[in-house]
A = this chain, B = another copy of it.
Amino acid sequence: MTEEASTKDRLVQAATRLFRQRGYDGTGLSEILAEAGVPKGSLYHHFPEGKADLACAAADWTAGEIVRVIDDSFHAAPDWRHGVTTFCYKMAKLFDILNSADACPIFGLMFDGPDQARFRIHAEAAFTRIIAGASHYAQTLGMPPDTAHDMAETFIIGFQGGWTLARVRRNSDVLRSLPTRLYGPASA
Contact = CB atoms under 8 A, between A and B. Distances in A.
A127 B108 CA distance: 18
Nearest to A154: B181
Interface residues of A, number: 39
Contacts of A22: 25, 112
A41 to B, nearest CB: 26
A102 B160 CA distance: 18
A123 interface: yes
Contacts of A107: 168
A102 to B, nearest CB: 7
Interface string A1-29: 00000000000000000000011111000
Contact of A168 (B114, B120, B167): B120
B124 A168 contact: yes
Interface string A101-122: 1101001101111101000100
Contacts of A153: 165, 174, 181
Interface of A: 22-26, 101-102, 104, 107-108, 110-114, 116, 120, 123-124, 127, 150, 153-154, 156-162, 164-165, 167-170, 174, 178, 181
15 contacts: A23-B24, A24-B25, A24-B26, A25-B25, A25-B112, A110-B168, A123-B168, A153-B165, A153-B174, A156-B165, A157-B178, A157-B181, A160-B160, A161-B164, A164-B164
- Going nearest first, the 4 A-B pairs with the smallest beta carbon separation are A161-B161, A25-B25, A160-B161, A157-B161
